[in-house]
Structure 1
Amino acid sequence: MNTTTDDRPTSASGAAVSAQEREALRDSVADLLRRRGSMAEVRAAATRPGRTDEPLWTTLCTEIGVAALPIPEQYDGAGASFAESAVVLEELGRSLSPVPAFSTALATAAILLSGDETVAADVLPKIAAGEKTATVCWAGSSGWDTPGVTADGGLLSGTAHYVIDGESVDLLVVLAGGSGHQATLHVLPADADGVRVEALPTVDPTRPLARIDFVDAPARALASADHLPTQLRTYAWALLACEQVGGAAAALDLSVDYAKVRKQFGRAIGSFQALKHRMADMYVLVESARSLAQAAIQAVATGAADADTLAASAHVYCSEAFSSVTGDAIQIHGGIGITWEHDIHLYFKRAQGSSQLFGQPHEALRSLTP
């Protein structure tokens, strides 16, 4: 990891952010979510058209500038890094707030990775200001190894599956296949001619997914490197791991709080040795997952050579840790844990859904095998 003389981590763009500044950012986001991101609001947003909390997203962008964090200053951004975006995503994972933070961060990464300065200068200032949201259209029907959309003569055709926030964003950043094997990158408005968006039912109601059909849709092509899909997946896994840590930490907190007040045989169940041991194991999983997720996002933000290995490792470990912690949390809550009225089941569903994004953990594990 690159460092400055005062041991502050340095982003690939050269901006240094101290640990104190990063914690101040975390505190600001957490405070806003306590005031504006209650689970009642999360549930309400999941039933509205678009399945997103637009007022909360507007506040996050205008008061804290979350969309601008990884965008260089030359494009009117904050000039920080994706490590700061990861801090925001961890807090949003803790609250399950349905805002397009992850999707917009990943779309921003795709545009920056392309190296196309003309498109970046046109699109990124609008994203930084919170005026536009964006998402990446990538997966085919069989997953993320083969794009579901093809490009021919500047026109896009095909179907992108599992598009996060696809029904509510303004811009689509499309990773498309072509007549050759090299993937190409394109950007177009979500309401462009030839684009049809279909909202999908999901197990996790706090993560909107859509299927987007393209029929000869005109799109702007971006210059892009040969290894863009691999690089983009590295960013996706690292950012997602940080979000998963936030969700796992929240599930642990809910379990500890419940164990303090739920009584059986005249005692709080948290006093039973078996549950003490189980919650201690959950704590170890959360903290070890946090360490690996932070290592992965720091490697990504600084352009370290082992970023792809760390990101794949984080996807495997954090997915399994999140699933394990939320599974144990359901058991600790007993019968109430599987009722719609209690919030813990939402974290369990988020754990199951997030582990399938951008390639399942066993696929990432295969990429780590020599």
Structure 2
Amino acid sequence: MTDLLYSETESDLRAAVRALLADRAAPAALPGRLEGRGPHDAELWRALAGDIGAAGLLVPEKLGGQGASHREAAVVLEELGRAVTPLPYLTSSVVATRTLLALGPSGEAAGLLADLASGRRTAVLAVPLTATDATSADPADPAGPAGAIPAVADAVLADVLLVPRPDGLHAVEAADADIRPQTPLDLTRPLAAVTVAATAPGTRLADAGTSRAAIRSGLLSGAGLLASEQLGLAEWCLEEAVRHTRTRHQFNRPVGSFQALKHRMAELWLEVAGARAAARNAADALATDSPDAPLAVAVAQAYCSRVAVHAAEECVQLHGGIGMTWEHPAHLYLKRAKSDQLAFGAPGHHKDTVAALADLPAPTP
């Protein structure tokens, strides 16, 4: 039976990550950082990835990691979602790491995994953020005839790019690629167009068939654990809306005491509770290599993406005029929620996946 409860180890990990982010990455300070030196904090990444060891949660101990599972990585992403933290955890420590693990424990991938697990280096799978594990385009050639791979998340922060080519997956140093930043909706997750010349030096990690399966495994893990990030985001939005409506007064009463607003927040609480169940189920299915993992991931994404957007919209609206200002971080949560809604497949794609896996054909017109 699936265990959706948090273990003591997971609760301890949550406490450590939350304390670090509260001290170093408070949401209230993020709008100011976006206007200053940029959102990425290298020292914070070293503390999370190396000191806490979060970067190596999916990596076996024999390869230098923590030997944990997707359940623990999901807890980290919940906390990163709560603070919309601009770190390459999902792209490097989940998608790229899981892709390399799927290639096998030996060879060039093993050495790169040790570096990723320690936090010394970061890697990004060079596919669009909207790519899915069952994308209609061949993942072995994502760039197409133009040569540039658009909307690669966190490419500007990567040390190594995992580049799919027709003959297999190649590890290419970021310095040997042309990485051009793009203007994203979500300023906390940078996007870039990546061009890697056919003559660029790199290391071939696996053949084409093995690479395709590994890429799909990495993207499936990314989609499944993205639901945990969306859960953390929705939880913060709900808590912040409740906190604000308790302290904001109109007609000499807290606005949160008005029945219409109480009903809206109660409805949102139920949605967040459902999202928690869906996200935890997806993380557990991935952790146990369940044959139902693709279905659990599709259900989690179809549901959690909608809940995250709804929670962020309610947070902005229930803050009134304050929620519309740049200085309040609510707009960053809404932008992250809308961006996440497209990451690793839009809700419509995941609903189609659920229908196919559950043998529920769409009605014919």
Q: What's the TM-score, normalizing by structure 1?
A: 0.87
Distance 2:350 2:130 in 1: 18
Paired position in structure 1 for 2:203: 220
> Quick one: which of 168, 172, 175 aligns to 1:188?
172
CA offset digits 1:61-97 (Å, max 9, x no partner):
2321110111101111111112211111110100111
Distance 1:308 1:315 in 2: 11
Paired position in structure 1 for 2:184: 202
Paired position in structure 2 for 1:61: 49
Would the aligned equivalents of 2:160 and 2:171 in 1 still touch at CA under 8 Å? yes
Distance 2:140 2:4 in 1: 41
The amino acid that maps onto 1:290 is: R
Structure 2 counterpart SS, 1:146: coil
Report the Cα offset of residue 116 of structure 1.
5.4
Report the Cα offset of residue 245 of structure 1.
0.4
Report the Cα offset of residue 185 of structure 1.
2.2
When residues 49 and 335 of structure 1 are mapped into structure 2, their CA distance, relative to the original with a 3 A threshold, is closer
Q: CA RMSD in A?
A: 2.5
Report the Cα offset of residue 45 of structure 1.
4.4
Distance 1:199 1:358 in 2: 20
Report the Cα offset of residue 228 of structure 1.
3.3
Report the Cα offset of residue 324 of structure 1.
1.1
2:344 equivalent to 1:358: yes
Which range is displaced more, 83-92 or 133-142? 133-142
The amino acid that maps onto 1:296 is: A
Superposed, 1:30-69 pairs within 5 Å as 30-47=18-35, 51-69=39-57
The amino acid that maps onto 1:215 is: A
Paired position in structure 1 for 2:141: 150
Q: Which runs of 5 or more structure 1 residues have no equivalent in the other structure? A: 10-17
Distance 2:38 2:22 in 1: 23
Report the Cα offset of residue 120 of structure 1.
2.7
When residues 112 and 47 of structure 1 are mapped into structure 2, their CA distance, relative to the original with a 3 A threshold, is farther
CA offset digits 1:31-59 (Å, max 9, x no partner):
11111111354335435677411110011
Distance 2:256 2:8 in 1: 34
Report the Cα offset of residue 169 of structure 1.
1.2
Q: What's the TM-score, normalizing by structure 2?
A: 0.88
Distance 1:196 1:231 in 2: 26
Structure 1 counterpart SS, 2:196: strand
Distance 1:231 1:168 in 2: 23
Structure 1 counterpart SS, 2:107: helix
> Quick one: which of 287, 308, 312 aligns to 1:301?
287
The amino acid that maps onto 1:191 is: A
2:73 equivalent to 1:85: yes
Distance 1:88 1:159 in 2: 32
Would the aligned equivalents of 1:203 and 1:349 in 2 still touch at CA under 8 Å? yes
Structure 1 counterpart SS, 2:175: coil
2:100 equivalent to 1:111: yes
Distance 1:8 1:199 in 2: 39
The amino acid that maps onto 1:220 is: T
Paired position in structure 2 for 1:270: 256
Would the aligned equivalents of 2:158 and 2:174 in 1 still touch at CA under 8 Å? yes
CA offset digits 1:171-200 (Å, max 9, x no partner):
111234x28xxxx322111112xx100111
Distance 1:306 1:126 in 2: 31
When residues 190 and 298 of structure 1 are mapped into structure 2, their CA distance, relative to the original with a 3 A threshold, is same
Distance 2:214 2:123 in 1: 18
Larger strand proportion of the pair: 1
When residues 157 and 80 of structure 1 are mapped into structure 2, their CA distance, relative to the original with a 3 A threshold, is farther
Would the aligned equivalents of 2:131 and 2:345 in 1 still touch at CA under 8 Å? no
Distance 2:219 2:131 in 1: 16
Would the aligned equivalents of 1:286 and 1:321 in 2 still touch at CA under 8 Å? yes
The amino acid that maps onto 1:86 is: A
Structure 2 counterpart SS, 1:211: strand
Q: Which runs of 5 or more structure 2 residues have no equivalent in the other structure? A: 357-365
Paired position in structure 2 for 1:97: 85
Larger helix proportion of the pair: 2
Structure 2 counterpart SS, 1:369: helix
Paired position in structure 1 for 2:361: none
Superposed, 1:110-259 pairs within 5 Å as 110-115=99-104, 117-139=106-128, 145-146=136-137, 150=141, 158-176=147-165, 178=166, 184-192=168-176, 195-216=177-198, 217-223=200-206, 224=210, 227-259=213-245
Paired position in structure 1 for 2:363: none
Distance 1:325 1:83 in 2: 23
**Looking at both structures, which has the greater relative contact order when contacts are Cα pairs under 8 Å and sequence separation is at least 6?**
2
> Quick one: which of 348, 355, 360 aligns to 1:369?
355
Would the aligned equivalents of 1:75 and 1:125 in 2 still touch at CA under 8 Å? yes
- Aligned-residue sequence identity (percent) comes to 36
The amino acid that maps onto 2:327 is: E
The amino acid that maps onto 2:153 is: I
Paired position in structure 2 for 1:12: none
